[in-house]
Structure 1
Amino acid sequence: MLPPLPKGRGIRIDILMNTIKNTLLPWIVCLSASLFFAYELLQLHVMNAISPMLIKDLNLSATQFGSLCSTYLLADVIFLLPAGMILDRFSVRKVILVALLLCLLGTAGFSQANSLGMAAVCHFLSGIGNAFCFLSCIMLISRWFPKEKQAFLVGLMITIGMFGGIIAQRPFSLLASHFSWRQALMIDAFAGVALFALIFAFVKDAPKPIEKVKEKGLPFFEGLKRSILNLHNICCGLYTCFMNLPLMIISAVWGTLFLTQVHSVSIENASMIVSMICMGTIVGSPIYGWISDKIKRRRQLMAFGGVVSLAIFMVILTLPHPSEQMFTLLFFLLGFFTSSQALGYPAITENNPQELTGTSMGVAAVLIMGIPALIQPLSGKLLDLSWDGTLIDGVPFYSATDFRIAFLIFPIGFLISLFALKRVKERSKVLRFDNKPVNS
């Protein structure tokens, strides 16, 4: 016969199990939601990997291809503000599931597109999902974790997301070459169904605080007005947007075409080199977040990232005959130092009332996604303006000069991001919308 358990032991085990559960649950929730961010970045960056096939199959010019890519970001621009307001008022878990469903429909539809119009509509549908995706992850982090951990968590979330960008390059290029770009996108859609099941099982809304400040909600348009008039939000959005351009333009649209046409790199190696931007962001984002949380400063690291990124890109733009190994290193360093853009997100959540977290993020995100939505077709237009009409195997061939003219957008953007930093504030006490401090 077994001896009786010491009195109270069972209770202590229950307390221990609950403590472990409560400690791990925030990490499980936020990291699971981050996989949705990775899936959305896959849909954004996959256009670069299949660009030669898509341009040939749908008979597109650079301007048309740039416009097609921009429909994804256009959906972000249109739906980001509504997304922020919806997330301030409704279940984050339910919003994520609906947004992912829209993305799945868009991806499956794109694989069957036979015209530019149909492809644009389906890519736009995937972009609607992305409008809710990133903000949802930020909302979960801000509600499940304290302020002093949020920069690191945002960096970690971006790290996970960048794996989607990496898969969208060489692995997806090989998949599309082995099958076709249409079959590869259908496989992509089926993978999204598995992700839907995972998020349904593990993502949960944060519990509401026991002690809640009793107050009337801020009117809808008043909250929007205050978020827009907060210059800090606008400048954080501008900084993040222009530091993000290599990911949005080179990694998502023109990187493979630039390397294959100007530097005669094979399409598989080109997509691998382009993926180094995402790899650099994977390494850099949590490092920036961790250092920033330790020194309790954002602006110094953001300025450092902007200056070094400008220098690296000028080397990429002017180096006459770099090797593939040199390009691999330069693209990695570009991704690493531009990942200072990850600090723009906690800078927004720390300097806005908790009731306006989603709306403020939505205002900044309109700039972060909206400006690249304009630059993607603009960069294609710049390529077409200087193009001499050369076609190789049915695909327009652009010279090094054509790309240099189009890529001047990047150093100009880095300079704008540095000017925007002048009006970015360091961490402050979190305020309610009536300007009274709250415990956080």
Structure 2
Amino acid sequence: MGSTLSDQCGPRAAPRDEAGAAAGHRSPPPPPVRPARARYTVWIAAVSVYVVAAFYRSVLSAAGPAAVDRFDITATQLAGLVVGQLLVYAAMQIPVGMLVDRFGPRRLLVAGATVMTCAHLGFAVTGEYVGALVARMLVGTGDAMILISVLRLVTAWFPPRRSMVMVTTTAAVGGLGALAAAAPLSRSLLAFGWTATLLVSASFGAVVGVLALVVVRDTPGRSGTRAPDSLPTIIRDVRVTWRNPGTKLGFWSHFSLLFPFNVFCLLWGYPYLIESEHVARETAAVMVGLPTAVVVAGGPLIGAYVARRGRLRPAIVMAVLAGVALTWTAALLWPGDAPLALLGVLAVAVGICAPASMIGFDVVRTCVSGSQLGRATGTVNFGGFGASVLVVLAIGIVLDAGSASLSAETYRWAMCLHYPVWLLGGIQVWRYRHCSRKPPGAQPGSTTM
């Protein structure tokens, strides 16, 4: 544990081959040649599904007021639509990771697109709150299958030196879907109404689902499904995956950095800016969209920086965490309303968190064996969205407790709930800042994808 992250997770092909030979296992053959045109074609088809998933996930950021009128609900019930969606998304991460390992990413992409599209259709036509809640939870179910599948395809089709760049580029391109769910969707709702707008947007899911079915392949070579595992084997494999320090480092990195982005952009950023900082509604809408713009514009740059400094990944996570925490502290402690310049810096800091959280996926790529990669990726993603659900719920509880008078002070106390989660995540990232190359219990000669 005294060596650096890069030393422990760096390439060691020869010792692994010797260990495999000594144990009677053959090392896997080298991967087939992956022409650039083929791998980018597969990636474009897969990431198009992720763009639509990000759009469906973020619909309520613009459609929230329309949903309140359509379903005749309170603000708490509106928050329930988001929380229900995120709860299902988070709960599905480890099962979906196992399904990716079992069936491959292509089948999960198609299944996820199908479930999301059907759920979005239901959300378009239902007039009851219960129906809307079920539809949003099913959107979360389908959405849960997408990112893990795309990341698995990136690992299979792109060389390791390009992986982090492609992961953050995937997040950046996905941000286009979230941007489309903001101002463009809001204008469409005003011009064409709820049902027409959402029915048309449901066709996007059908198109990308067919595209994934036709274009995407799991690997450059032949691919297939594994034999089903027994329940004791599944439990054992999950435990083995979690015991790997690389899985834990990836989990806590994603846990610490993704939730500030989700809390700010999916639900609480807009009311905080209006009610606590007294920002004009038009300006608040721009500021809530600014973090997503940072993801789109800066994600690939952050990925390229991290790719060149692999051994500094935990330090980068800690630096981003410290930066966003300090910026929130300045905004919350500012006497009276924080200046717009400071709030703009806060929005940028929140935006940097999202691509930086992808470091968690790069850690498991280098520290977890290929046979466990789906489960490890699901575990990492669960960390980020699990933290998001906890903080979104906790803020709502604090605001409800002070619902008689939702003052600026109440919002500021509610936003302080970021800090215990950051503290826990930061301690754990520091604790697991070194990861081992080979997970405990892994068979010699297993591939590291």
Answer yes or no: same fold by TM over 0.5: yes
In the alignment, which residue of structure 1 is the partner of 2:408?
Answer: 400
1:306 is aligned to 2:321: yes
1:242 and 1:304 map into 2 onto residues whose CA distance is 11
Q: Could you tell me which amino acid in structure 1 is paired with residue 409 of structure 2?
A: T
Of 270, 280, 302, the match for 2:294 = 280
Aligned residues: 410
Kept in 2: contact 1:170–1:268 (CA 8 A): no
Quick one: structure 1 residues 387 and 263, their matched pair in 2 at CA, closer, same or farther if it must change by over 3 Å? same
Deviates most, 28-37 or 229-238: 229-238
Aligned-pair identity in percent equals: 19
Q: What per-residue deviation string (whole Å, max 9, x for no partner) do you get for residues 61-87 of structure 1?
A: 343222221111122233222211111
Offset, 1:235: 4.1
- Gap runs ≥5 in structure 2: 1-31
2:441 and 2:47 map into 1 onto residues whose CA distance is 29
RMSD, aligned α-carbons: 2.9
Of 332, 337, 357, the match for 1:317 = 332
Kept in 2: contact 1:313–1:411 (CA 8 A): no
Quick one: structure 1 residues 265 and 189, their matched pair in 2 at CA, closer, same or farther if it must change by over 3 Å? farther
1:334 and 1:371 map into 2 onto residues whose CA distance is 15
1:383 and 1:287 map into 2 onto residues whose CA distance is 37
Normalising by structure 2, we get a TM-score of 0.82
1:68 and 1:61 map into 2 onto residues whose CA distance is 11
In the alignment, which residue of structure 2 is the partner of 1:294?
Answer: 308
Quick one: structure 1 residues 305 and 326, their matched pair in 2 at CA, closer, same or farther if it must change by over 3 Å? closer
2:433 and 2:340 map into 1 onto residues whose CA distance is 40
2:365 and 2:176 map into 1 onto residues whose CA distance is 25
Query: Which secondary structure state, in structure 2, belongs to the residue aligned with residue 50 of structure 1?
Result: helix
Kept in 2: contact 1:69–1:376 (CA 8 A): no
1:125 and 1:273 map into 2 onto residues whose CA distance is 29
The within-5 A match list for 1:58-207 is: 58-207=71-220
Kept in 1: contact 2:274–2:284 (CA 8 A): yes
Kept in 2: contact 1:62–1:381 (CA 8 A): no
1:358 and 1:439 map into 2 onto residues whose CA distance is 13
1:33 is aligned to 2:49: no
1:363 is aligned to 2:379: yes
Q: What per-residue deviation string (whole Å, max 9, x for no partner) do you get for residues 191-239 of structure 1?
A: 22232233333322213489xxxxx989333211212333442342233
Quick one: structure 1 residues 76 and 315, their matched pair in 2 at CA, closer, same or farther if it must change by over 3 Å? same
Kept in 2: contact 1:305–1:339 (CA 8 A): no
Q: What per-residue deviation string (whole Å, max 9, x for no partner) do you get for residues 258-287 of structure 1?
A: 334444555454332211111122233322
1:410 is aligned to 2:418: yes
- Gap runs ≥5 in structure 1: 1-18, 211-215, 390-397
In the alignment, which residue of structure 2 is the partner of 1:5?
Answer: none
Quick one: structure 1 residues 415 and 434, their matched pair in 2 at CA, closer, same or farther if it must change by over 3 Å? closer
Query: Which secondary structure state, in structure 2, belongs to the residue aligned with residue 60 of structure 1?
Result: coil
In the alignment, which residue of structure 2 is the partner of 1:3?
Answer: none
Kept in 1: contact 2:368–2:438 (CA 8 A): yes
Quick one: structure 1 residues 127 and 384, their matched pair in 2 at CA, closer, same or farther if it must change by over 3 Å? same
Quick one: structure 1 residues 65 and 149, their matched pair in 2 at CA, closer, same or farther if it must change by over 3 Å? same
Quick one: structure 1 residues 427 and 282, their matched pair in 2 at CA, closer, same or farther if it must change by over 3 Å? farther
Normalising by structure 1, we get a TM-score of 0.84
Quick one: structure 1 residues 411 and 434, their matched pair in 2 at CA, closer, same or farther if it must change by over 3 Å? closer
In the alignment, which residue of structure 1 is the partner of 2:444?
Answer: 436
Deviates most, 115-124 or 40-49: 40-49
